[in-house]
Chains A and B, each alone.
Chain A
Amino acid sequence: KAGVTQTPRYLIKTRGQQVTLSCSPISGHRSVSWYQQTPGQGLQFLFEYFSETQRNKGNFPGRFSGRQFSNSRSEMNVSTLELGDSALYLCASSSGLAGGRPDTQYFGPGTRLTVL
């Protein structure tokens, strides 16, 4: 079974631009979560999508948004980029069980975003 894939792997943008990152989950997984990893803040949860609906959201400004398509693929968008948005953005997929027992999240290789 193919793992989680993320594209692109590397991005360089300038302040004020916007960026879209893509994530394809493991086949059969319906939940996609996004995390931001920085040296200072570590790994922080951005949001989670299940069946095209955002089920949970972390504490990030509205410049960070996402969506999920009917095939479970997800995109994350960051508008008006700031220097502090430079980070490794990791996508994770899971079956997304609705209750009782969370399934394990499997991570992709990440997209490294550099904002100049």
Chain B
Amino acid sequence: AQKVTQAQTEISVVEKEDVTLDCVYETRDTTYYLFWYKQPPSGELVFLIRRNSFDEQNEISGRYSWNFQKSTSSFNFTITASQVVDSAVYFCALSGTSGNTPLVFGKGTRLSVIA
């Protein structure tokens, strides 16, 4: 069975601090996909990144960066120089490789960035 664990329930940081959100996953599949979504107070899940299990390169997009380590089954997300607009719940998710495989989500990490 697939499982995603986000051990940090809530994180609070002061604006401009860097923050890392942890994600650990379990799967028996040799090929799989990992995702991060952001859920602002409006409720909509906003797609941030997709990574397949064969690509362990770290990725940077502006202030966002992702560290995928297959050896530790982790896919951590770092926000550099956090801003108040980053305040949201962030979800890590896992899926298999077929088109109809559902997303398995972690419980989410609520990030509060204080001005």
Complex formed: what's the CA distance from A43 to B96 in Å? 17
- Chain B, interface size category, equals 20 to 34
- Residue from A35, A102, A106 within 8 A of B97 (CB atoms): A102
B6-22: CB near A (< 8 Å → 1, else 0) gives 00000000000000000
Per-residue CB contact flags for chain B residues 78-103 toward chain A (1 = under 8 Å, else 0) read 00000000000001000111111111
A103: nearest chain-B partner, CB-CB: B99
Contact of A102 among B44, B47, B101 (CB under 8 A): B101
Chain A proximity of B107: nearest CB distance (Å) = 5
* 10 A-B contact pairs sorted by A residue (CB < 8 Å): A42-B106, A42-B107, A55-B100, A92-B103, A100-B97, A102-B33, A102-B96, A104-B35, A106-B47, A107-B47
| Known pairs A43-B108, A98-B99, A100-B97 / 15 extra A-B pairs, C-beta < 8 Å | A33-B102, A43-B91, A45-B104, A55-B99, A56-B100, A56-B102, A94-B99, A99-B99, A102-B97, A102-B99, A103-B99, A104-B35, A104-B47, A107-B46, A110-B44
